[in-house]
Amino acid sequence: MQATSFRLDGKVALVTGAGRGIGKTLALGLAQAGADVILTARTQGEIETAAREIAELTGRKTLALTCDVSDPASITQTVEQAVADFGHIDILINNAGIGVLKPTLETTPEEWDQVMNINLRGVFLMSQAVARQMIDRKWGRIVNVASVGSALQIQGLASYSASKAGVVNVTTRFATELAPHGITVNAISPWFFKTDMNAAALESDFGHFAVARTPIGRTGNLEELVAPVLFFCSEGASYVNGQNLFVDGGAMSYGI
């Protein structure tokens, strides 16, 4: 039996929060695997630069679209434009997310709502919109970027952890309902990967503690998230559905 290729030639992928960090890395990885890529974020200049760089590096077609994933109208406009330009969307990577680093009792209702709206509501709304056009083609892959925080409480990140636990729950719900249409829905839960959002925290005492309790003994490199996502998007994962894969250097297995 031949090993199933991770190649995605002929596929079209949409990645949210793709201007930098995890999203940009995943968009590049998908393009390197042969997919054309639509990059979305709230900052147009950032995604235009990322889209141009990825097109130059891979030769794949790219498109940069401004999108607020908490706004249904913005999502509808984005999906309609993507389908108009590419004809369809085969793969959706829900990566857009934010975090508020604050003790639980100091987190304001406005901060709580902002995190929930982008991290959880955004995954729900974008998955709805993209899945509707995937159903017509009887094939699709949705991969949600959750977090180890979905299962492990992280100091000062109550709203973030709650939102990512919700992402895992939404993943299993969509996986169940979309499976009859040839669409699989899975999630990855990264541990600490250095990005602009968490760089300062990783240089603190907390960051050093996090590395010390990671069996591999370091934070992750962003490129190490690409292969798990490519697996979920490939034909090789056609019978893998509703799963949450911890990409954590063994952190969830750490004992006392």
Q: In what order do the strands lie in the sheet with 244-247?
A: 62-66, 36-41, 12-16, 91-94, 140-145, 183-190, 244-247
Q: CA angle 216-147-109, nearest 5°?
A: 140
- Match 């607020």 to its residue by tokens: 68
Mean pLDDT for the chain overall: 93
Over range 25-33, report the average pLDDT: 98
Per-residue confidence at 1, pLDDT binned at 50, 70, 90? Answer: very low
Q: Is 239 a catalytic residue?
A: no
Say if residues 217 and 211 touch (Cβ distance below 8 Å): yes
Rounded to 10 deg, the angle between the 44-58 and 21-32 helix axes is 30
Q: Of 160, 191, 232, 246, which is the active-site residue? A: 160
Res. 9: pLDDT tops 80: yes
Measured between alpha carbons, how far is 137 from 8 in angstroms, rounded to an integer? 16
pLDDT tens, position by position, 210-247? 888 899 998 899 999 999 999 999 999 999 999 999 99
In CATH terms, the fold of domain 12-245 is: Rossmann fold (3.40.50)
Where are the extended beta strands (E) located within 209-256? 244-247
Residues sharing a CB contact under 8 Å with residue 111, sequence separation 6 or more, in sequence order: 100, 102, 159
Amino acid at the residue 189:
S
| Whole-number Cα distances in Å, 142 to 187, 192, 237 | 8, 22, 12
What was the pLDDT predicted at 255?
A: 64
pLDDT digit string, tens, across residues 99-132: 998 999 999 999 999 999 999 999 999 999 999 9
Which positions ≥6 away from 209 have C-beta within 8 Å? none
- Domain positions in the chain are 12-245
pLDDT at 155: 81
Q: What is the pTM of this model?
A: 0.95
How far apart, in whole angstroms, are the C-alpha atoms of residue 202 and residue 23? 19
Taking 60 as the threshold, does the pLDDT of residue 182 lie above it?
Answer: yes
CB distance 90 to 67 below 8 Å: no
